[in-house]
């Protein structure tokens, strides 16, 4: 670890998405310049992507060009800045005072730091997010393929009626009104209907024991009802109190993991890797139905899905609206006690903490955003607030001042678009109760672009301009 790196005190931020990038933006202007501190923003991927509109990009042609920006030092930092972006380079290991990268940076895989912020977020199956090793172009191409596949499908089943499931069903139904779209959801209403008095208590507590899944936040039952009505309007069938039995697939769990897995223009399918349907085979999807093998995405023919109730459903496209996992493995590998049911355990300052006395986490690591156990919905706003608080606390530490405690705040907000013209949401005002609203308010909040220009492109403040232009 000799050489240039030693001249700097590094603040390492792992994850250049909403939480990590916002933390950088909040830190950099306030760093005392004479101390030789530099920020290293690391991301496994070579580009940033905007999760807020990804589900539209999965379905609607044209949107795939509006959700990615290459990650580079020039796009994130001003000219002559000491700070660096290390993109397309995964952090593989956390140590007490350093992180270990997949590939060398300045001649070494090991990067020392004096403070490290873990903002590694959560993962779900593609196409809902890019594969780890996909380039920006490959990701955009995969979105185009997914649009074509959804276009070619007739019967779509969405497994899970959490936020991802409801939103993707809405996008498909709004863009393809003649397709059959069905959501199967385990709960008695869409998302996670919770007795109204418990909603704010659960939001305030944090930890995955309270907010069980990222995309099924505790929901005022009136919001579940409102979403159900919108589904009705869009012609989406909703099956509640039931689950799809998901077999373990023999090959990939998503059709798109093979780039060869293309839809032919004549409507037939060929796969070169999994052998389910060979090139040129003609599948009469209306007359044959085979058992679903657990592979998500476009099916080789009409498949039969089995539900726990004993019911069956037929589909030629199965979308995973479930299965979001926090990217907390790095922490679990060095200290299981620093995990809280899969999320990184943080204290009231958002510092990583552990139940183990031999932990490497001694106050030098913070964890923010989707990956941490702090209270609040696992949503963009929480990531922004976490980031801002953490940047302030790091600056305080540098200046020898006391850090301040994190608070989720009294107001929590959630809104869900179901296509461009419909949607619903809720704002919880703590003990004052919850306001539930429908399409009119949701479409006004979201606008046409769901904040892409301001909150995504706008967070790139470097020398090189990053713009996303809408017509
Ligand atoms: C489909 C979908 C729709 C959503 N819709 C909404 C919405 O409408 N409104 C809303 O408020 N929120 C929405 N969310 C939630 C919101 O996107 C998240 O709350 C937010 O992205 C969390 O930000 P984050 O920075 O914590 O994590 P992420 O956005 O998950 O980013 C984590 C980053 O860490 C990087 N990373 C992970 N591991 C490593 C490693 N080992 N080394 C280096 N880099 C690593 C990843 O590449 C990624 O860039 C949605 C999420 C999804 C998936």
Query: Does residue 127 have a cis peptide bond before it, meaning omega lies within 30 degrees of 0?
Result: yes
Q: Do domains 4-44+88-124+324-406 and 143-320 have the same CATH topology?
A: yes
Taking each helix axis from N to C end, the angle separating 163-175 and 221-234, rounded to the nearest 10 degrees, works out to 20
Q: What is the Cα 274 distance to its own chain's centre? A: 28
pLDDT at 453: 95
Ligand 1 atom nearest 450 alpha carbon: 8
Three-class SS of 287-323: CCEEECCCCEEEEEEEEEEEECCCCEEEEEEEEECCC
Q: What's the gap in Å between 365 CA and the centre of ligand 1? A: 19
d(CA 461, CA 395): 20
Q: Which residues are CB-neighbours of 109 under 8 A, at least 6 positions away? A: 100, 101, 102, 103
Q: What's the gap in Å between 33 CA and the centre of ligand 1? A: 31
Q: Which residues pair with 202 in a beta bridge?
A: none
Q: What's the gap in Å between 307 CA and the centre of ligand 1? A: 30
**How many CB atoms sit inside 10 A of residue 116's CB?**
26
The finding on whether 44 has its CB within 6 A of some atom of ligand 1 is yes
Q: What's the gap in Å between 262 CA and the centre of ligand 1? A: 28
Q: What's the gap in Å between 13 CA and the centre of ligand 1? A: 14
> Tokens 């959630």 belong to which residue?
414
pLDDT at 292: 96
For ligand 1, atom 22, the nearest C-alpha belongs to 370
pLDDT at 273: 26
Ligand 1 atom nearest 16 alpha carbon: 49
The finding on whether 91 has its CB within 6 A of some atom of ligand 1 is yes
The finding on whether 417 has its CB within 6 A of some atom of ligand 1 is no
Q: What's the gap in Å between 449 CA and the centre of ligand 1? A: 18
The finding on whether 157 has its CB within 6 A of some atom of ligand 1 is no
pLDDT at 49: 97
For ligand 1, atom 24, the nearest C-alpha belongs to 121
Phi, psi for 182 (deg, rounded to 5) = -130, 135
86, 116, 120, 333: residue to mutate for ligand 1 pocket, most atoms within 8 A of CB: 120
The finding on whether 18 has its CB within 6 A of some atom of ligand 1 is yes
CATH topology of domain 143-320: FAD/NAD(P)-binding domain (3.50.50)
Ligand 1 atom nearest 54 alpha carbon: 1
**Contact between residue 216 and residue 324 where contact means Cβ atoms under 8 Å apart:** no
Q: What's the gap in Å between 163 CA and the centre of ligand 1? A: 14
Write out the two tokens for 203.
């939001």
Q: Which residues are CB-neighbours of 70 under 8 A, at least 6 positions away? A: 46, 47, 48, 87, 136
Nearest to 275 by CA among 298, 296, 254, 251: 251
Nearest to 113 by CA among 84, 89, 72: 84
pLDDT at 210: 52
User: Structural domain boundaries of the chain?
Assistant: 4-44+88-124+324-406, 143-320
pLDDT at 259: 40
Q: What's the gap in Å between 423 CA and the centre of ligand 1? A: 21
Q: What's the gap in Å between 39 CA and the centre of ligand 1? A: 20
**Contact between residue 12 and residue 116 where contact means Cβ atoms under 8 Å apart:** yes
Residue 87: exposure state from Cβ atoms within 10 A (0-12, 13-18, ≥19):
buried
**Contact between residue 218 and residue 202 where contact means Cβ atoms under 8 Å apart:** yes
Residues of the chain with pLDDT under 50: 1-6, 212-213, 257-286
The finding on whether 446 has its CB within 6 A of some atom of ligand 1 is no
128, 327, 415: residue to mutate for ligand 1 pocket, most atoms within 8 A of CB: 327
The finding on whether 172 has its CB within 6 A of some atom of ligand 1 is no
H or E segment to which residue 238 belongs: strand 236-239
Length of the chain, in residues:
471
Q: Domain 4-44+88-124+324-406, what architecture?
A: 3-Layer(bba) Sandwich (3.50)
Nearest to 43 by CA among 75, 66, 65: 75
Ligand 1 atom nearest 164 alpha carbon: 1
The finding on whether 16 has its CB within 6 A of some atom of ligand 1 is yes
């Amino acid at each position: 670890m000799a050489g240039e790196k030693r001249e700097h005190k590094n603040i390492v931020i792992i994850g250049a998405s909403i939480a990590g990038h916002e933390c950088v933006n909040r830190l950099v202007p306030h760093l005392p310049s004479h101390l030789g501190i530099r920020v290293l923003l690391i991301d496994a991927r070579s580009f940033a992507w905007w999760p807020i509109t990804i589900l539209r990009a999965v379905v609607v042609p044209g949107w795939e060009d509006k959700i990615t920006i290459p990650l580079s030092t020039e796009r994130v930092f001003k000219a002559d800045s000491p700070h660096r972006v290390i993109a397309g380079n995964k952090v593989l290991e956390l140590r007490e005072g350093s992180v270990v990268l997949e590939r060398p940076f300045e001649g070494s895989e090991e990067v020392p730091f004096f403070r490290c912020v873990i903002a590694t977020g959560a993962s779900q199956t593609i196409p809902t997010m890019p594969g780890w090793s996909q380039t920006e172009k490959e990701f955009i191409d995969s979105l185009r393929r997914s649009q074509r596949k959804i276009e070619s499908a007739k019967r779509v089943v969405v497994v899970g009626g959490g936020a991802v499931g409801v939103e993707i069903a809405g996008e498909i139904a709004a863009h393809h009104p003649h397709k059959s779209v069905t959501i199967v959801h385990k709960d008695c209403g869409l998302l996670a209907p919770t007795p109204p008095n418990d909603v704010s208590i659960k939001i305030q507590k944090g930890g995955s024991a309270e907010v069980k899944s990222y995309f099924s936040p505790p929901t005022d039952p009136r919001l579940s009802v409102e979403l159900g009505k919108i589904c009705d309007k869009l012609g989406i069938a909703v099956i509640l109190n039931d689950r799809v039995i998901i077999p373990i697939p023999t090959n990939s769990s998503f059709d798109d993991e093979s780039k060869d897995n293309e839809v032919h223009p004549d409507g037939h399918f060929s796969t070169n890797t999994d052998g389910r349907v060979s090139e040129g085979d003609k599948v009469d999807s209306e007359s044959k139905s085979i058992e679903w093998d657990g592979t998500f995405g476009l099916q080789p023919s009409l498949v039969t899905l089995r539900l726990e109730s004993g019911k069956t459903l037929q589909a030629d496209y199965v979308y995973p609206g479930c299965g979001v996992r926090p990217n907390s493995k790095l922490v679990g590998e060095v200290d299981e006690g620093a995990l809280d049911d899969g999320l990184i355990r943080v204290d009231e300052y958002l510092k990583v903490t552990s139940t183990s006395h031999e932990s490497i986490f001694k106050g030098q690591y913070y964890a923010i955003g989707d990956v941490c156990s702090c209270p609040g919905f696992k949503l963009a706003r929480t990531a922004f607030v976490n980031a801002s608080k953490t940047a302030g606390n790091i600056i305080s530490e540098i200046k020898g001042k006391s850090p301040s405690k994190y608070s989720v705040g009294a107001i929590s907000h959630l809104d869900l678009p179901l296509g461009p013209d419909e949607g619903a949401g809720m704002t919880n005002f703590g003990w004052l109760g919850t306001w539930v609203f429908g399409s009119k308010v949701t479409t006004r909040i979201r606008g046409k672009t769901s904040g892409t220009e301001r909150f995504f492109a706008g967070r790139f403040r470097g020398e090189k301009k990053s713009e996303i232009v809408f017509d």
